[in-house]
Structure 1
Amino acid sequence: MAVFDPAYLKSLPVFSEIPAEHLQWLLQTSEIITLQAGELLFDTGQSADYMYVLLGGQLNLSLEQSGQYSFFSSLKQGDVTGYLPFSRLKVAGGRAVAQDHASVLRLHKRHFGEMEQVSPEMVQKLVALMTDRVREFTRTEQQHEKLIALGKLSAGLAHELNNPAAAIVRSASELRRMHHAVPDKFKRIMTMQLTPEQVDELNAVLFSLMEDGRDNNLPLMERASLEDELIDWLDQKDVEETYSLAGIFAGWNVTVDSLEKVSVILGGKYLPEILDWIANSLETERVICNIQSATRRISELVSAVKTYSHMDQGQGKEKTSVRDGIGSTLTILNHKLKEKDIRVERNYDAGLPLVPAFVGELNQLWTNIIDNAVDAMSEKGTLRIDAWPEPGKVIVRIADDGHGIPKDVLPHIYEPFFSTKQVGKGTGLGLDIVHKIVMHHGASIKVSSEPGNTVFQICFPLD
């Protein structure tokens, strides 16, 4: 078992330049505790009253996110954690657990005043260590914040892609089923003795029905009434499968008058077969339109991701469209907007000029502001986005009708790790990142807030 004396402490890098007599004071003033594997040194929310120096063994630090702990870093022999001189730490932000048998030197913060008198060198070293720790912790947490945001965006994108992809699968299966019925229908059509004039007239009716009913969205009551009329007419004509045919025709807003026109063209012959052919053609058209719509949606999502992630472009400042950047961000966050049924109002000046910007950073700025706004809003809220030019600059204003930011909180919203959300719901770095991005662009940001109206206004210089 190691002997923890001044010589041992001096062998640790953190104390290598501290005089032995100062280290002797440290040993006499502090206490040494031992931990078994799995034992806690401190836990999240615990009052930060001690400085800890790991003399032997290993400690694992974990941070809580969304009610679960995730590994953050390991402390090895000679590492220092906990409360340090001039620190503003109030409570532990994470949990420290012994990996195996560990020995820890523990010094209460009430001795720090005496430490300044006994060993200014030790205080200076610990302050420098604290500065490095804050810098590293901030860097790691910013990266963690980005990963969390990426996870949210990925989940939302997967959700958005799943809907059109599932629609394509369903439509393709339906199209295959209809295609398998084509030979039988073709056989019946070929046995009919129709004149070329009748064929031309029937084709004209079919294309007219497709064109007129393509964007048909009858209210439920009107559609039900139309179906009843069609069922009565089909029954009078002794056509089988009346309910199935009536449902298809009503979906395309086919009226009884249109079916009468078909009956007149046929002179009362082959009506069931021709109506079945028309219904099959309309259903095939519907399925094809569904596939086109779904594939177009997937293409839009891919395009939005490409714009959002700034693919195929350089890393320097580029002239970029504020309208396109916000648009791609809203597409990526669409799942979150739909969850709360939030309406988005966009008002962009027609002559909005391009802004010189780091495009990837700008998209992150929009994401953080809009994501925070959605979190603050209730169901069926309204998000308002305006952008307009002024001499030498472009102004973007993002406003929400959420619960607002309290007046005593407003001055602190850009401070790192400051958050009004519940523990585990955020790191408190979202608006700190926003502020850094704004400063990096030489821009400015103003915030005003009251219940029902929170406004972020960003001013971008054009030079």
Structure 2
Amino acid sequence: MDNLTVERLRVIENLKEVPDEELQWLIDHGTIIKLPAGKYIFKPGDILPGPFIILFGKVRLCLPIGHERQEVGTYEENAIGGNLPFSRAKIANLFTEVVEELTYLQFPLELLEQMTQTKFYLTQALVHVMANRIKDYTAFEQQTEKMMALGKLSAGLAHELNNPAAAVVRGAAALAENLKKAPNLFSQVISFNIPSEDIAYVCSKITAVSQTQKPVMTMMERSSLEDDLFDWLEREGVADTSETAEILTDFGFGTNDLAALLSHIPEGGVNAIFAWINSNLVTEKIVNDIKDASARISNLVGAVKNFTHMDQGHGKKKADIHIGIRNTLIMLEHKIRNGNVNVIEKYDTELPPVSAMIGELNQVWTNLLDNALDAMEPNGSGQLTISTHRAGDCVHVTISDNGTGIPESIKGNIFNPFFTTKPIGKGTGLGLDVVMRIVKQHKGVVKVSSNPGKTDMIVEFPIEG
């Protein structure tokens, strides 16, 4: 150990106040280790070694996320790592890969307890290092949790927006094609010199149908009606019989309606008039489809805006908590549908507006609902129940699922930071920690009741904040 001196260690910011005799004790009981690039100090699953000090070289710290590794930091010259005094971490969860030839001082793990009992200033210095490490790692994990939550919501939203957006594009293209037929159809119709009263009747019939709510039919009822219309149109010599029968069925026409129309159509004009009727109804249907798809996009955008609360300032405001819960359900709709989950909403409509930070509360609903959906995933289906009620001056929100339940052995740990039962890459263990922290900000509590097949997460906080 002749090549390592107290003076060399004292240039390290965290060790400059440690007495010489304690630094010398560290040197005397440590071992200098050299590693080439590509080697590891430790990997996930290894027992964390005792404290070490980088003398020369560089190490990259990588967190395994799924099948990939995400770099979370580096150890360079004078950095201190390893299992530090009073740390609860025993097993490594990072890769520490040497990227530049490394020389470091390794202190034996078995002497760590002796250090804490006899070397006060050295212990104090290393505890300070650990505190900073925890702060930095917590900030990273919180950011990762936010990005993972954003990724889940973004994936669902992308899917939800893609369907109506694609419907608008398809509808616009179909509408353009259909409108190209209009001039030719119009010229065919006027060539029959139809009396104005007959034209008025046909137009009024189409208008009346378009303004009437479309009939609700079973598959068998629809099929039977479409067959009857097809036979009628075929007997009268109408072209495009199948397409015309389908659109007439959509709008609830019956054979009696067609017979009434036929009485106002001149001889030889059946095919032209029904082609014109078909074109008008197709246009009406396409416009309605585009309208519905556009409304769906508008609703999703509105849900995102309300979910993030991005049009309002921070701080507590009076608001209906049901709006936030419903917006969160919209954001998670893709996951709900894919999981074959039936959602039951039991809201107390008499609840007054609550004083709350709505954006933060939406994070609570997101984490709790997302966890509930994950719990039901192994079953391939499930039932999610959300209920609210007032209890004195407080509001109670209960989110229930019929998933696998929380084992009794881990129930006391679920709110601990970084505790998770999800695979690496799917959970960071901060979701329920975030829930607890936000609810405490609202002077409330979070309770859990769980048995196989039924888990209740109960959030309670004052209405007036």
Following the alignment from structure 1 to structure 2, what is the Cα–Cα distance between the partners of residues 357 and 67? 40
Query: Which residue matches 2:411?
Result: 410
Query: Which residue matches 2:176?
Result: 176
Query: Which residue matches 1:81?
Result: 81
Query: Which residue matches 2:300?
Result: 301
Cα distance per residue 1:93-147 (max 9 Å; x no partner): 2111122112122122101133235522101111222122212211221121111
- Given that 2:384 and 2:401 are in contact with CA atoms closer than 8 Å, whether structure 1 keeps it comes out as yes
- Given that 2:53 and 2:106 are in contact with CA atoms closer than 8 Å, whether structure 1 keeps it comes out as yes
Query: Which residue matches 1:7?
Result: 7
- Relative to 1, partners in 2 of residues 1:217 and 1:50: Cα closer, same or farther, differing over 3 Å? farther
- Given that 1:33 and 1:103 are in contact with CA atoms closer than 8 Å, whether structure 2 keeps it comes out as yes
Following the alignment from structure 1 to structure 2, what is the Cα–Cα distance between the partners of residues 412 and 215? 54
- Given that 1:345 and 1:383 are in contact with CA atoms closer than 8 Å, whether structure 2 keeps it comes out as yes
Superposed, 1:134-145 pairs within 5 Å as 134-145=134-145
Query: Which residue matches 1:62?
Result: 62
1:338 aligns with 2:337: yes
Following the alignment from structure 2 to structure 1, what is the Cα–Cα distance between the partners of residues 146 and 425? 15
Query: Which residue matches 2:454?
Result: 453
Which sections of structure 1, spanning at least 5 residues, go unmatched? none
Cα distance per residue 1:246-285 (max 9 Å; x no partner): 2222222322111111111225441111111111111101
SS in 2 for 1:457: strand
RMSD: 1.6
Following the alignment from structure 1 to structure 2, what is the Cα–Cα distance between the partners of residues 117 and 317? 48
Percent of aligned pairs with the same amino acid: 38
Q: Which amino acid aligns with 1:409?
A: I
Query: Which residue matches 2:426?
Result: 425
Query: Which residue matches 1:401?
Result: 402
- Relative to 1, partners in 2 of residues 1:35 and 1:274: Cα closer, same or farther, differing over 3 Å? same
Following the alignment from structure 1 to structure 2, what is the Cα–Cα distance between the partners of residues 189 and 217? 32
1:208: Cα distance to partner?
Answer: 2.7
Following the alignment from structure 1 to structure 2, what is the Cα–Cα distance between the partners of residues 116 and 374? 46
Superposed, 1:262-341 pairs within 5 Å as 262-341=261-340
1:350 aligns with 2:349: yes
1:222: Cα distance to partner?
Answer: 2.5
Following the alignment from structure 1 to structure 2, what is the Cα–Cα distance between the partners of residues 47 and 217? 66
Following the alignment from structure 1 to structure 2, what is the Cα–Cα distance between the partners of residues 289 and 52? 69
Query: Which residue matches 1:40?
Result: 40
Q: Which amino acid aligns with 1:53?
A: I
Query: Which residue matches 2:203?
Result: 203
SS in 1 for 2:161: helix
1:239: Cα distance to partner?
Answer: 1.8
Query: Which residue matches 1:386?
Result: 387
Q: TM-score, normalised by structure 1?
A: 0.96
Q: Which amino acid aligns with 2:406?
A: I
Q: Which amino acid aligns with 1:205?
A: K
1:390: Cα distance to partner?
Answer: 2.5
Q: Which moved more, 1:203-212 or 1:367-376?
A: 203-212
1:288: Cα distance to partner?
Answer: 0.4
Q: Which amino acid aligns with 1:410?
A: K
Q: Which moved more, 1:452-461 or 1:37-46?
A: 37-46
- Given that 2:214 and 2:252 are in contact with CA atoms closer than 8 Å, whether structure 1 keeps it comes out as no
SS in 2 for 1:306: helix
SS in 2 for 1:265: coil
Query: Which residue matches 2:254?
Result: 255
Following the alignment from structure 1 to structure 2, what is the Cα–Cα distance between the partners of residues 177 and 111? 82
Following the alignment from structure 1 to structure 2, what is the Cα–Cα distance between the partners of residues 215 and 150? 39
Cα distance per residue 1:363-422 (max 9 Å; x no partner): 101100000000001323111011122321111111111111011111111101111112
Following the alignment from structure 1 to structure 2, what is the Cα–Cα distance between the partners of residues 138 and 219? 56
1:312: Cα distance to partner?
Answer: 1.7
Q: TM-score, normalised by structure 2?
A: 0.96
Q: Which amino acid aligns with 2:287?
A: I
Following the alignment from structure 1 to structure 2, what is the Cα–Cα distance between the partners of residues 5 and 428? 42
Following the alignment from structure 1 to structure 2, what is the Cα–Cα distance between the partners of residues 113 and 406? 34
Following TM superposition, where does structure 1 have runs of at least 4 consecutive aligned residues deviating by more than 4 angstroms? Answer: none
1:21: Cα distance to partner?
Answer: 2.8
- Given that 2:317 and 2:357 are in contact with CA atoms closer than 8 Å, whether structure 1 keeps it comes out as yes
Which sections of structure 2, spanning at least 5 residues, go unmatched? none
Following the alignment from structure 1 to structure 2, what is the Cα–Cα distance between the partners of residues 446 and 100? 50
Following the alignment from structure 1 to structure 2, what is the Cα–Cα distance between the partners of residues 303 and 329? 12
Following the alignment from structure 2 to structure 1, what is the Cα–Cα distance between the partners of residues 323 and 452? 30
- Given that 1:397 and 1:458 are in contact with CA atoms closer than 8 Å, whether structure 2 keeps it comes out as yes
Q: Which amino acid aligns with 1:100?
A: E
1:9: Cα distance to partner?
Answer: 1.2
Q: Which amino acid aligns with 2:270?
A: L
Query: Which residue matches 1:237?
Result: 236
